[in-house]
Structure 1
Amino acid sequence: MKTFYIVRHCQANGQSEDASLTPQGIAQSHELAQFFSGIHLNQIISSPYKRAIQTTEPLAHVKQLEVQIDQRLSERVLSSKPMDDWYEKLKLSFSDLHMTCEGGESSQEAMNRIVEALYEQIKLGKDHTLFATHGNIMSLLLKHADPTIGIKEWEQLSNPDVYVLQYFRPDHVEIERIWHK
């Protein structure tokens, strides 16, 4: 069995790649470090987005681990253009995994890249890895493990949020939400 922690970033000042954590988000990042204080971690891998990196910094400091960056943990881009009906498109993208919007990435494409990042760590024999990422891409990784996950579960994610994935074999992955704030 391999154990992986999937962390959604703390509260941030927006959605751009360079959006930083709010003062509340910074406090949350320290709460996360405390939450993980008794949990063994071998490595921390983060999205390159500033808010994800900032979420992991206090934890990395406490655990004396370097934060590794992986582009595959970046948030999914639904569309390159603003859309008034973005929520309806996002909702549809959970049932039609191949749907794409202008300049965007389908759910299947996004899922494939984050699953690839996870399976790369499994193949390398890595265990007790923490992935810091974003809400939509996180929910797609969870959907890969449990196809019943959809828009409702995405809506219920908090900032931050933490799930543990326990990998027993390719056809048996258990997921559990362990952040209850």
Structure 2
Amino acid sequence: MKTTIYMVRHAESPYTEGNERTRGLTPAGKNNIEKVTELLQDEGINHIVSSPYARAVLTVEALAQKLNIELQSIEDLRERHFAGEDYIIRDDKFMQAIQDSFHDPNYTLPGGETNADCQNRSVAALRTILEENKGKKIAIGTHGNVMTLMMQYFDAKYGFEFLIQTTKPDIYKMEFEDFELTGVTRLWNE
């Protein structure tokens, strides 16, 4: 039975230290919400879930309202926790740390979550979503790193190089037969 997942990477968000859960969207990010909604409103989506982080919720909230679907927040879809709150990483070192974590899935900065741990929790959440919504179409409000890790679980080609070419927002349509990925199509056009 075919089930379709729409991975909706959140729109552009201002980076503010210590504000991961609550930071919203930039003016450009807010402008893209309407485009996301227009692109997905006629896809026949039955269910919408999201990371609890505000930027992910805000990116799919208008779609949920347009389709009159209750938006469900799922904690295990949150973005990867890169480092402990007391560990400050300079911007010029951040991308190197992310790249290192894709080369070694058990690598992490002090106090952070490994790619392996993030992938395990997010794929478990995705498995539940797929099991509870067989034959349906589900939009997931997500983040770049966690989205890439979920996609990588099914196909190794989704790694660091894929992550750095994604945009904010971005949308990938993933088609499944039970828990087997049968196709991926990028829907977002900048």
TM-score, normalised via structure 1 length: 0.94
Cα deviation 1:149-169 (Å, max 9, x = unaligned) = 221111111010001111124
Question: Partner of 1:163: helix, strand, or coil?
Answer: strand
Contact map agreement 1:145 1:173 (CA 8 A) in 2 = no
Report the secondary structure of 2:185's partner residue: strand
Which of 58, 75, 78 matches 2:79?
75
The within-5 A match list for 1:50-69 is 50-69=54-73
Contact persistence 2:127–2:179 (CA under 8 A): no
Which residue in 1 is equivalent to 2:5?
A: 4
Pick from 169, 174, 180 the counterpart of residue 183 of structure 2: 174
CA distance, structure 1, for counterparts of residue 54 and residue 130 of structure 2: 26
**Aligned positions of 1:10-159 closer than 5 A:** 10-14=11-15, 16-80=20-84, 81-84=87-90, 85-126=93-134, 127-159=136-168
Alignment partners' CA distance in 1, 2:6 and 2:80: 19
Unaligned runs of 5+ in 1: none
Amino acid paired to 2:23: A
Unaligned runs of 5+ in 2: none
The 2-side partners of 1:105 and 1:149 are apart by 19
Native 8 Å contact 2:130 2:178 kept in 1: no
Q: Distance in 2 between matches of 1:146 and 1:174?
A: 10
Aligned residue among 162, 167, 170 for 1:161: 170
Partner amino acid, structure 2, of 1:72: D
Letter aligned with residue 13 of structure 1: P
Q: CA RMSD in A?
A: 1.4
In 2, the alpha carbon distance for the partners of 1:99 and 1:25 equals 31
Work out the percentage of aligned pairs sharing the same amino acid. 29
Change (3 A) 1:169 1:66: closer
* Equivalent pairs, count: 181
Residue identity opposite 2:9 in structure 1: R
Amino acid of the residue matched to residue 7 of structure 1? Answer: V
Deviation (angstroms), 1:88: 1.6
- Judged with a 3 Å threshold, the aligned counterparts in structure 2 of structure 1 residues 79 and 14 are, in CA distance, closer, same or farther, namely same
SS of residue in 2 equivalent to 1:97: coil
Give runs of ≥4 in structure 1 deviating > 3 Å. 169-173
